[in-house]
Every structure is written in C-alpha cells, then in structure tokens.
C-alpha cells in the first residue's frame, strides 16, 4: 500500500510539473528537438524534458535537461536507446527566430544500449568497417571482419584473410580503463584500443542480455 501511495505521489508531482511548465520551456524543448533531429539520420521516440522556470530561461540558465530516444542513426552509428542528462547549461535563446546558442560547453552524462544487430550494422557498414578490419588486424592477425555476434558476455568475431578463406570464430572481451574502451583477445594475448573522441570519457561498459551497456560523459556541441 505504501509503495502504491508513493507511486501515485510521484506521478502527481510529474503531472503538476508538466502542467506548470511555461511556454519558454516548451519552445526550448522544440528547439532542442530540431537541433538533435538535424544531426541524426534517424531517431525515434525522442523525448526532451527541460527543468527550468521562465525566469531562469530568460536569464539564459537551464538547470537540467533530460533526453531519451530510441533507434538512433547518428553519422551511421546505430544506437538502440540513449538517455542523456545535462545540467547548468548557459544559453542565448532568440525567441523570435526560435534559435539556440550555447554560452558554455555543457557536459552530458549518458547511457547507451547497443544490440548485436546494431553493432554488426556499424562495423560492417561502408562508413565504419575500417574499425572492424583494424580490430581483425591488430588482435587476430587477420585482414577482414566477416561477421560478429554477442555470446555469453563476449563478442564472437568471424574473420578472413580474403573473401574465400574464412577463419574460425574468435571470442573477444570488451572492457574500459581510464575512460577508453579496449578489446582483448586472450588466445593471441593482444589488446586494441577503440578509436573514440577524446572529449568522450567511458565510465563503464558491460554486456548484459545480449546488449552492450555504455555509461559515459562528454562535452556537448552542435
């Protein structure tokens, strides 16, 4: 009974906050949606919640922004789900033009889910297959990535030296250290660092229920 009452109270608080949200917050949410959609080839179920009063927005201050989206294609990088949160954002907001510019460089905390199909789509795509081939060369002594799947918390990778000679499958561990992501092949005793922008710091990466879970932070720019 106590849990039900707490749940009802929480829903009531959210409902009251939505009702009390001013026109400026709603305009900003639409502005952020425009910026995000402009950067993505595809994005679904995009939800943005700006937690700020009208006075704060007029002053160019946004205490908190929460963003959730699914099935994202960002520069041919495929993500099944992304959750973002950023705080203490300083903006210039042109109400007439409905344009936003940042006065500071916001830091965002985010969680990303990547499925087996999405990872395969990235590493076998024309835009990013060089990463898959680099992995094969650096830790498997092979030339080309042919296929991959997620199995028992590891990456199962199929490689070849040419289009005819297909090698046996290799299990690869994925881990993070000092904000970077590494793939480790114990059979060859080799490790390779994945190329990730310096502004992105990976806090944790795990594989659960055949999904890669990434927790990270980064500066934000459009």
Residue 174 pLDDT grade (very low, low, confident, very high; cuts 50, 70, 90): very high
Asked whether residue 153 is domain-assigned, the answer is: yes
pLDDT digits (tens, 9 = 90+) for 35-84: 889 989 999 999 999 988 888 888 888 889 999 999 999 989 999 999 99
Same domain, 209 and 152: yes
- Which pLDDT value is given to residue 95? 63
Q: Which of 100, 89, 110 is nearest to 33 (CA)?
A: 100
pLDDT digits (tens, 9 = 90+) for 79-111: 999 999 988 888 776 666 666 777 777 889 999
Give the separation between CA 166 and CA 186, rounded to whole angstroms: 20
> How many domains are contained in the chain?
2
Give the separation between CA 173 and CA 207, rounded to whole angstroms: 10
Same domain, 101 and 178: no
- The dihedrals phi and psi of 139, each to the nearest 5 degrees, come to -120, -5
Asked whether residue 198 is domain-assigned, the answer is: yes
Residue 8 pLDDT grade (very low, low, confident, very high; cuts 50, 70, 90): low
Averaged over 172-179, what is the pLDDT?
92
Give the separation between CA 205 and CA 3, rounded to whole angstroms: 32
Same domain, 161 and 201: yes
Q: How many helices (H) and strands (E) does the chain have?
A: 5, 12
Least confident residue range of 104-108, 189-193, 197-201: 104-108
Domain containing residue 195? 117-215
Q: Which of 100, 4, 96, 6 is nearest to 48 (CA)?
A: 100
Asked whether residue 68 is domain-assigned, the answer is: yes
Asked whether residue 43 is domain-assigned, the answer is: yes
Averaged over 106-127, what is the pLDDT?
93
Residue 206 pLDDT grade (very low, low, confident, very high; cuts 50, 70, 90): very high
Do residues 143 and 134 lie in contact, with contact meaning Cβ atoms separated by under 8 Å?
Answer: no
């Amino acid at each position: 009974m106590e849990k039900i009452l707490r749940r009802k109270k929480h829903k009531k608080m959210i409902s009251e906050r939505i009702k009390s949200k001013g026109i400026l917050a709603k305009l900003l949410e639409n502005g952020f949606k425009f910026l995000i959609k402009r950067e993505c080839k595809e994005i679904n179920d995009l939800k943005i919640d700006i937690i700020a009063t009208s006075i704060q927005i007029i002053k160019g201050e946004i205490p908190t922004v929460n963003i959730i989206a699914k099935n994202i294609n960002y520069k041919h990088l495929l993500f099944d789900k992304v959750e973002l949160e950023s705080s203490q954002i300083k903006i210039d907001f042109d109400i007439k033009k409905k344009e936003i510019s940042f006065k500071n460089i916001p830091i965002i905390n985010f969680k990303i889910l990547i499925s087996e199909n999405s990872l395969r789509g990235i590493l076998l795509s024309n835009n990013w297959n060089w990463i898959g081939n680099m992995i094969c060369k650096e830790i498997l002594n092979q030339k080309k990535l042919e296929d991959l799947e997620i199995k028992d918390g590891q990456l199962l990778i199929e490689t070849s030296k040419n289009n005819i000679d297909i090698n046996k499958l290799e299990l690869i561990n994925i881990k993070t250290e000092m904000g970077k992501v590494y793939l480790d092949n114990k059979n060859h005793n080799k490790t390779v660092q994945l190329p990730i922008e310096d502004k992105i710091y990976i806090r944790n990466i795990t594989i659960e229920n055949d999904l890669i879970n990434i927790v990270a932070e980064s500066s934000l720019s459009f």
